[in-house]
Amino acid sequence: MSKTSAFLEGAGIGAAIMYFFDPATGRRRRALIDGKVAHLRHLIGEGSQAAACDFGNRLEGLLARMDDIFGTAPGDDAVLTERARARIGRLSCHPGAIYVTANHGCVTLSGPILRDEVERVIHGVSKVRGVEDVVNNLQVHDTPGDIPDLQGGCHAAGEPRGFMDRSWSPTLRFAAIAGGGLLALYGLGRRGLLGTPLTILGGLLAVRGISNVSTQRLMGIGEEPVSFEVHKIIDIAAPIDEVYQIWAHPENFPLFMGHVDSVTAIAPDRFSWTVKGPARMPISFETVVTRDEPNKLICWQTVHNALIPQTGRVLLQQDVNGQTRVDILICYQPPGGELGELVATIFGVSPKQALDDDMVRFKSLLVNGKTTAHDQTVTLSTVEELDQKSQANVTPRE
DSSP 30-81: HHHHHHHHHHHHHHHHHHHHHHHHHHHHHHHHHHHHHHHHH--SPPPHHHHH
Average predicted confidence (pLDDT) for the chain: 79
Strand partners, 99: 110
Per-residue pLDDT, 41: 81
**CA neighbours within 13 Å on the CB side: how many for 274?**
6
Q: Say what percent of the chain tops pLDDT 70.
A: 78
Per-residue pLDDT, 153: 61
Q: Is 246 exposed, middle or buried (0-12, 13-18, 19+ CB in 10 A)?
A: buried
Q: Report which of residues 320 and 75 the model is more confident about.
A: 320
Is the separation of the CB atoms in 300 and 313 below 8 Å? yes
pLDDT tens digit sequence for 237-251: 999 998 998 888 888
Tell me which H or E stretch contains 194.
helix 192-211
Is the separation of the CB atoms in 371 and 358 below 8 Å? no
Cα gap 223→214, rounded to integer Å? 13
Q: Report which of residues 171 and 393 the model is more confident about.
A: 171
Lowest mean pLDDT among 102-106, 207-211, 388-392: 388-392
Residue among 32, 139, 130 nearest 94 (CA): 139
Q: What is the mean pLDDT of residues 30-35?
A: 79
Q: Is 285 exposed, middle or buried (0-12, 13-18, 19+ CB in 10 A)?
A: middle
The pTM assigned to this predicted structure is 0.53
pLDDT tens digit sequence for 96-143: 889 999 998 899 999 999 998 999 999 989 988 888 899 999 999 988
What does DSSP assign to residue 321?
T
Per-residue pLDDT, 36: 73
Angle at 369 between CA 366 and CA 372, to 5 degrees: 95
| CB within 8 Å of 128: residues ≥ 6 apart | 80, 83, 84, 87, 107
The confidence band for 398, taking pLDDT boundaries of 50, 70 and 90, is very low
